[in-house]
Amino acid sequence: MPAVQTITWEGALSGHARLIEQTLLPERTEYLDVRDVPGMVDAIYRLAVRGAPAIGVAAAYGAVLGIQNETGRSVPDLLRHLDEVCSTLAAARPTAVNLFWALERMKRHAAAVAGGCADGRALAEELLAEAQRVHAEDADQCRRMGEHGAELIRDGMTLLTHCNAGALATGGMGTALAPMYVAAEQGKKISVFADETRPLLQGARLTSWELNQAGIDVKVITDGMAGRVMFEGRVDAVFVGSDRIARNGDVCNKIGTYTVAVLAARHGVPFYVVAPVSTFDAATDSGDLIPIEERAAEEITNGFGRRTVPEGVGVYNPAFDVTPAELVTAIVTEHGLIERPNMAKVEALLRQAGAMAPAS
């Protein structure tokens, strides 16, 4: 099991969220206490908390933070205020669908229970309980994805992963790293190549840190080395996570994932995506329609405090790219695998999971 827990709720109602401050890793392990909505928006935007499932959990707790000190309002007024809070949180990151999924879930739950709440405090307590259910369900989903994915891993395999899709990116043991943790629990000896994942080095700073903490053999390579290690026959399979999966199986993930997928296809290496059903966006037909967040140029020009690009030179900094479904060997979910995904297969799994209306 991973040795970290990226997010917790401290106390009861009127408590706060506590996050691992991921921008400081691996040099320092410090915790960030988030006590209000602006603090949660800031934490999500600047990647103090990151990874689609963890952002969803953080958003759910953010909704609680937004109303727990407003419980003197009437229940109808508090519901209107919750809508405003959720709109503010939704603006923090445009790509990770779990953010919007969690906020919609919190609003639906509030609307469903409001009639039975005597006052604003009762509604706030209901929302805290719902946020804690979101968190617990994510941890359970991570375990189930890990068990399904571990079936794809044989003893002695070397795996490659991009970005960070482990415990630091979820409310549990991770998405892409969960099969590795379960495989290790099963006694399988594995090793992992972690792409640096430029420009913010989530692979070098975070993935290598948590795999090392868990006692799994890990080596960091630059993004540009992935093709070489595949060419040398050093990689048996690729495991990555996702921030949004379109209805046709196109996968949006951290920038550079598409490159890894193309290289894997060229070298005959299986390319697996591990993500919960909440990461699927049934309203988006294909990856072409997924909004891609473009982040500040300073992440490239002045990464980690030192200028590496000449003054006056332009920068293009998309945070994500889209891998077409045709390059995906299988998507691993908590409900099982979607092999060679396409729209029909994705819709079938979403219906099985109760995340999509039955076909008429």
Has 52 been labeled as part of a binding site? yes
Q: What is the pLDDT of residue 305?
A: 83
96-126 tens-digit pLDDT: 788 999 999 999 999 999 999 999 999 999 9
- Any binding-site annotation on 98? no
Q: Is the pLDDT of residue 349 over 90?
A: yes
* pLDDT tens string 46-76: 999 988 889 999 999 999 999 999 999 999 9
Q: What is the mean pLDDT of residues 255-260?
A: 98
- pLDDT value at 359 more than 70: no
Residues 122-155: tens digit of each pLDDT: 999 999 999 999 999 999 999 999 999 999 999 9
Asked if residue 193 has pLDDT above 90, the reply is yes
| Amino acid letter, residue 222 | T
342 is in an annotated binding site: no
- Crossing angle for the helix pair 75-90 and 52-67, to the nearest 10 degrees: 140
Instruction: Give the Cβ contact number of residue 286 at 10 Å.
Output: 15
17 annotated among ligand-binding-site residues: no
Around 97, how many Cα atoms within 13 Å sit in the side-chain half-sphere? Answer: 24
Residue 284 has pLDDT above 80, yes or no: yes
Query: pTM of the entire structure?
Result: 0.89
Give the pLDDT confidence score for residue 2 in this predicted structure. 64
What are the extents of the domains in the chain?
7-143, 151-352
CA distance 321 to 243: 10
Which residues have a Cβ under 8 Å from the Cβ of 252 and sit 6 or more positions away?
95, 242, 243, 244, 245, 246, 287, 290, 292, 320, 321, 322, 323
What's the first-to-final CA gap in the chain, in angstroms?
A: 43
What whole-number distance in Å separates Cα of residue 81 and Cα of residue 234?
Answer: 54
pLDDT at 208 over 60: yes
Rounded to an integer, the average pLDDT of 3-11 is: 88
217 phi and psi angles, rounded to 5 deg: -65, 125
Q: State how beta strands 237-240 and 271-274 pair.
A: parallel
Q: Please confirm whether the linkage preceding 358 is cis (ω < 30° from 0).
A: no
Instruction: Select from 153, 271, 167 the least CA-distant residue to 212.
Output: 167
- Residues that are catalytic: 243
Q: What is the pLDDT of residue 52?
A: 85
Ligand-binding site membership of 317 (annotated)? no
Q: What is the mean pLDDT of the chain?
A: 95
Residue 3, pLDDT above cutoff 90: no
52-to-167, 218, 229, 341 alpha-carbon distances in Å = 12, 23, 28, 20
Question: Which CATH class, in words, describes the domain spanning 151-352?
Answer: alpha beta
Which are the contacts of 34, defined by CB distance < 8 A and separation ≥ 6?
16, 17, 18, 19, 40, 43, 58, 61, 62, 65
Residue 358 has pLDDT above 90, yes or no: no
**239 DSSP β-pair partners:** 272
Q: In what order do the strands lie in the sheet containing 217-221?
A: 217-221, 191-195, 158-161, 237-240, 271-274, 330-333, 336-339
Q: What is the pLDDT of residues 293-304, one digit of tens each?
A: 999 999 999 988
Q: Which two tokens stand for residue 68?
A: 């727990």
Fold of 7-143: Four Helix Bundle (Hemerythrin (Met), subunit A) (1.20.120)
In this prediction, residue 1 carries a pLDDT of 62
Of 153, 303, 294, 302, nearest to 235 by C-alpha is 153
Q: Is 189 annotated as a binding residue?
A: no
Cα–Cα distance between 350 and 29 in angstroms, integer?
38
